[in-house]
Amino acid sequence: MLKLFIIHEMKSLLKTRKVIWSLLLFLTLFSIFFYIRLDDFQKRMNNYIQDVEQTEKQLSEATNYSFLNPRAIRKPKLFSIYHEGNTHTYGNVINVEFFEPILESALMNTEYNLYFKDYPQIDITYLVTFFLSLFILLISYDCINREKANGTLRIVMTWPFKRNLYLLKKLIGIFTFVSIVFSLPYFLSFIALIILYGSMISSGFITSYIVYWIMVLLYIMIISCIGVLISILTHKPGKSLVLALFLWTFFCIINPVLWRFVHDYLPRKQAEKIHKELDVVTGNLFSFNYPDSLNLNNMSHYNWNSNGKNAYVTVFGPSSTMKAHREYNRFTMKNYMPLVYKREELYTLYDIANKRYNESSHYFMFFNPNEVLDNTASIIGGSSQADQNQFIEDARSVRNSFLDQGVRDGWLYSNEFFAWYDANVEADDLPKLGLDLQSITSWDQFYVFMESKVGFYKMKVPQMKRYQQREVHISEIFPKIVPSLIIMITLICGLLYFLKIKFDAYDIR
């Protein structure tokens, strides 16, 4: 009988004009949002390809080891089409330089995320929490009191079945209908992604895709329960509509704004303590001085280039200058880099403290299904603040590996790190180098001169460690989303229990 009731409820919904219009509006919005997200994703992929090509080109053209810059470049996640998360506020490139602190990511191309950089996230999660929730409330706010007002409820309740069965008919009917409304375009979009980006469909993406669908279904059940409860708590459909719109406004607008207001006044003792220590280390870095004997500004460098031709000597001078360059790197590794590591460590701790501070919204808005769904989607999509921190840590590991390799292989403390000469000019252009080389009339003689004075070095690009993007696996996702699952299931159970109590006492007359 319950099955027949559910089918009857769904057919009744399809006969209602407001439901048809709401359904058409949601499907239209889903198509528009999905198209916008596809367009943005393709732009970011184009930028990613350009970033990689530019980095590889610069690595291949590096004239000495000090010019090597193996950037960490994060490939756009396909799941970002459904949920953007925190990545809309950060760039996807980190410069991995020898002696520079790595604190944040940046942009190399301005086309990245044009739609969402300075505006709220326009993604499928936003569509669900903002529009689908309104759609559910509009089809459920008067599902019971409307039948009471027109006398249908009193007639139906004369049939030989329990009240709980009628309540389940309404609730499961609405839930099933909305679930189909969401699932149909959702799975069609998956087919479109297979056609367009089949090679990028990984096990991690499929895991995130399925878990996201389950979480949205739980979200639909929560909002459906709220809609039916509104219809029970109010006797007239007009009052139900007002209450439904107020709750929707509260969940989508008032509650987040109220949280941001309260958030500014919450104590941040741990973060502030770390920040004070961070300021001290940062000040030490900025005021760091090298001995005069190692100050590169006091050393002789000769550079010459013109019309695409190059005669380039980064280190040219007496042996004392070459020694100073080697000692400069040793001094940097021994005295400067510990400060860099300390600053990065404190910066990470400060970021974690702020993350915990920001995550207090989970406790303040635990009852808000929008907040729970948004946080969960960030976790399963690999776009949370923790994932951004991991990206930075991975880039640091590439830099540290690079430094270790330079020490181990010897080139970090050798003449080769700075000094390299490449000549592609005519012999007549030699005087333009600004060097006292009157006795030299050919490049062969010049090479001998270089070898005898400072050495002639041609850099061999090392097999350096490169950044590799991590894949999101179910083993990582599940422990992180357990709290959200518990909250959503608890909300559903609590609403169902409250619905039963209220409907048992409901006056059907």
Closest of 431, 413, 414 to residue 302, by C-alpha: 431
Closest of 184, 167, 258 to residue 496, by C-alpha: 167
Neighbouring residues of 130: CB distance < 8 A, sequence distance ≥ 6: 252
Q: Say yes or no to pLDDT of 393 above 90.
A: yes
Exposed/middle/buried for 389, CB within 10 Å: 0-12, 13-18, 19+? middle
pLDDT for the residue 40? 86
Tell me the DSSP string of 198-230.
GGG--HHHHHHHHHHHHHHHHHHHHHHHHHHHH
pLDDT for the residue 221? 95
Residue pLDDT, tens place only, 195-211: 999 989 988 899 999 99
Q: pLDDT averaged over the chain?
A: 80
Model confidence at 497, pLDDT cuts 50, 70, 90, reads very high
Model confidence at 159, pLDDT cuts 50, 70, 90, reads low
Over residues 25-33, the mean pLDDT reads: 92
Over residues 142-160, the mean pLDDT reads: 73
Single-letter amino acid code for the residue at 471 = E
Tell me the DSSP string of 337-385.
HHHHHHHHHHHHHHHHHHHHHHTTHHHHTTT-HHHHHHHHHHHHHT-SH
pLDDT for the residue 314? 44
pTM of the model: 0.83
Between 303 and 197, the more confident residue is: 197
Counting runs of H as helices and runs of E as strands, what totals does the chain give? 18, 5
Over residues 12-38, the mean pLDDT reads: 82
Helix (H) or strand (E) holding 240: helix 237-249
Residue pLDDT, tens place only, 219-278: 999 999 999 999 888 888 888 999 999 999 998 888 888 877 776 666 677 778 888 888
Percent of the chain's residues with pLDDT above 90: 31
**What's the CA gap between 217 and 239, in Å, rounded?**
27
Model confidence at 5, pLDDT cuts 50, 70, 90, reads low
Q: Say yes or no to pLDDT of 377 above 50.
A: yes
Residue spans of the domains in the chain: they are: 2-266+360-396+466-504, 273-354+421-453
Between 69 and 451, the more confident residue is: 69
Lay out the sheet containing 421-423: strands in order across. Answer: 302-306, 309-313, 421-423
Residues forming beta bridges with residue 303, ordered by sequence position: 312
**What's the CA gap between 392 and 395, in Å, rounded?**
5
**What's the CA gap between 191 and 185, in Å, rounded?**
10
